[in-house]
Amino acid sequence: MNGQHGQDGRGRQDRADAVDREMAARLLPGPVVRALGRWWETNAAAYADGTPGAHTIRYTPGRWAQITPWPKALAPTSAGGDAAVSRAEVASAVADALRREAFREALVATYVWGKGKRGTPGGSGPSTLHKILAFDGLDAALAAAVTALHEYGAPQAYAALQGQVPGLGPAFFTKFFYFTGIAMPPARGPRPLILDRVLSRRLRQLAAAVGRDSGHDVDGSIAAWMWSDGNWSPHRYRVYLSFMHAAADQLTADDSWPSGAAPDLLECALFTTAWETG
């Protein structure tokens, strides 16, 4: 998305760029800041260190029995019932896997955390992951992306991996980048953050309000194009990271948000926070 050819595409891109500039200048509006402040009041005890490391998901190990390699940080697939794993535990598992260049193992840890119990009753999560792991070029693609992330930055890693592995889209490979970036911070640029459909829709809501107010996107069509439900361009991911890191800085200056909080705390909060647009 966000880079079509031709006069219409160029005009649309120019309007999208104008909305991006307005969003970068305005950052988070008052209603969103207040909504995030309420979220922090509720979650301050859980995330007292200013990171979402304690953010825990539940999953059903037995539904992933066909998946190998299986990270030791996850409950055995032979275990009955549900299990839980936190961001901090996944980050530790990914760091351990990367030290051994076990890229598939790192991917599995992030994928299972990202999927949780959603979509698994019919087997969509495990079956999709099984197909991803069966792709012959997976190791090379992941290794190249990790190198790009470490040496050049998150947008370059995004460009390196997009479209390279059938079934592995940005909603899940940005989770892989996010946890990889904790273990191996990029040499330049911001640390990667998760971008999925929920977060894109949050940004779409912000972009639509800015576009309407500024006159660059009165009907919201540009916001819908920029912040679609998937298949975002590397440029869009770069814009997302720039906005999120700047917005995190904005929040840390507000009394309702913890000072020095990591940008991924904002990502975690936006995932579960709603607000009235007015």
pLDDT at 117: 82
Contact of 73 with 92, CB cutoff 8 Å: yes
Q: What is the pLDDT of residue 248?
A: 97
Dist. CA 136–CA 47, nearest whole Å: 40
- Predicted local distance difference test score (pLDDT) of residue 80: 87
DSSP state of 62: G
Backbone phi and psi for residue 169, each to the nearest 5 degrees, phi listed first: -95, 175
Tokens of 145: 């992306």
Q: Which residues contact 67 (CB under 8 A, 6 or more apart)?
A: 77, 108, 112, 126, 129, 130, 133
The 10s digit of each residue's pLDDT in 132-173 is: 999 999 999 999 999 999 999 999 999 999 999 999 999 999
3-state class (DSSP) for residue 34:
helix
pLDDT value of residue 206: 97
CA–CA separation, 223 vs 234, rounded Å? 17
Q: What is the pLDDT of residue 122?
A: 52
- 169-214 per-position pLDDT tens digit: 999 999 999 999 999 999 899 999 999 999 999 999 999 999 999 9
**CA 140 to each of CA 27, 101, 148, 164, 165: distance values in angstroms, whole numbers, following the listed order:** 38, 11, 12, 10, 10
One pLDDT digit (tens) per residue for the chain, 278 residues: 444 445 566 699 999 999 999 999 999 999 999 999 999 999 999 999 999 999 999 999 999 999 999 999 999 999 889 999 999 999 999 999 999 999 999 999 999 999 998 755 555 799 999 999 999 999 999 999 999 999 999 999 999 999 999 999 999 999 999 999 999 999 899 999 999 999 999 999 999 999 999 999 999 999 999 999 999 999 999 999 999 999 999 999 999 999 989 999 999 999 988 876 54
Predicted local confidence at residue 173, as pLDDT:
97
Sign of CA dihedral 178, 182, 185, 191: positive
Rounded Cα–Cα distance for residues 90 and 42 (Å) = 24
Burial class (CB in 10 A: 0-12, 13-18, 19+), 220: middle
* pLDDT attached to residue 4: 43
